[in-house]
Amino acid sequence: MRTRIIPTYYYKSVDLIEVDKLAKLGYKYALVDLDNTLTGFHHAHINSKGQKFLDACKKYDIQVFVVSNNKESRVKEFCDPLNLKYIFHSEKPFTLKINHFIKRNNIDKNKTIAIGDQIFTDIYAANCLRIKSILVEPVQSKDLILTMINRLRDKKIRKILKDKGLLKGIE
Ligand SMILES: [Mg+2]
């Protein structure tokens, strides 16, 4: 099986991620997808699950950056009230822009966890960058048309990974 589609860890949603364990493992930075990870697709504001995750990161001193393929206005509107640094049009699964962002912000890749709801963009990019990752379930089924097509493939792979016992939380 191609290892680039295998996430390091799996949690059902961001609020269930054991941030205390991440901190214990030495993680200092989180590169988090926006749409259907931190909040629903086209939801302008954070929801309670997303907020719970951000609060935990703050408590355990993990700095959160939003990495989104969406356009600037969408990402800015969401991130600015939360004081989150972000990259828009990040072009996941390609890594060039994210790599520049990582260097510009002095992010140590060895202490970084990437979090997202899509295997073929979020997890694939993280593995190409040699960054550990967490796969979550999408917040809602609504999405961009292209993403919805990707989801069919994603669902199939997710089931295979699950059956092989490759979707697990931090032990
Ligand atoms: Mg997403």
Query: pLDDT tens digits for 79-130?
Result: 999 999 999 999 999 999 999 999 999 999 999 999 999 999 999 999 999 9
The pLDDT value recorded for residue 1 is 59
CB 109 within 8 A of CB 70: no
107 vs 153 pLDDT, higher one: 107
Region 38-45: mean pLDDT is: 89
Q: If you average pLDDT over residues 44-63, what whole number do you get?
A: 96
CA of 16 to the centre of ligand 1 (A): 17
Instruction: Pick one of 3.40.50.1000, 1.10.540.10, 3.40.50.300, 1.10.3720.10 as the CATH number of 3-163.
Output: 3.40.50.1000
| Confidence band for 42, pLDDT divided at 50, 70 and 90 | confident
| Across 70-74, 78-82, 140-144, least confident range | 140-144
Report how far ligand 1's centroid is from the alpha carbon of 164 (Å).
24
| Domain-wise residue ranges, the chain | 3-163
| CA 86–ligand 1 middle distance (angstroms) | 14
- Distance from the alpha carbon of residue 20 to the mean position of ligand 1, in angstroms: 24
CA–centroid distance, residue 34 to ligand 1 (Å): 6
CB atoms within 10 A of CB 70: 19
**Cα 65 from Cα 86, distance rounded (Å):** 5
- Which residues, by Cβ under 5 Å, contact ligand 1, an ion? 33, 35-37, 117
From the number of C-beta atoms within 10 Å of its C-beta (0-12, 13-18, 19+), residue 37 rates as buried
- pLDDT score at 66: 98
Q: How far is the CA of 118 from the centre of ligand 1 (A)?
A: 6
How remote is the CA of residue 43 from the centroid of ligand 1, in Å?
12
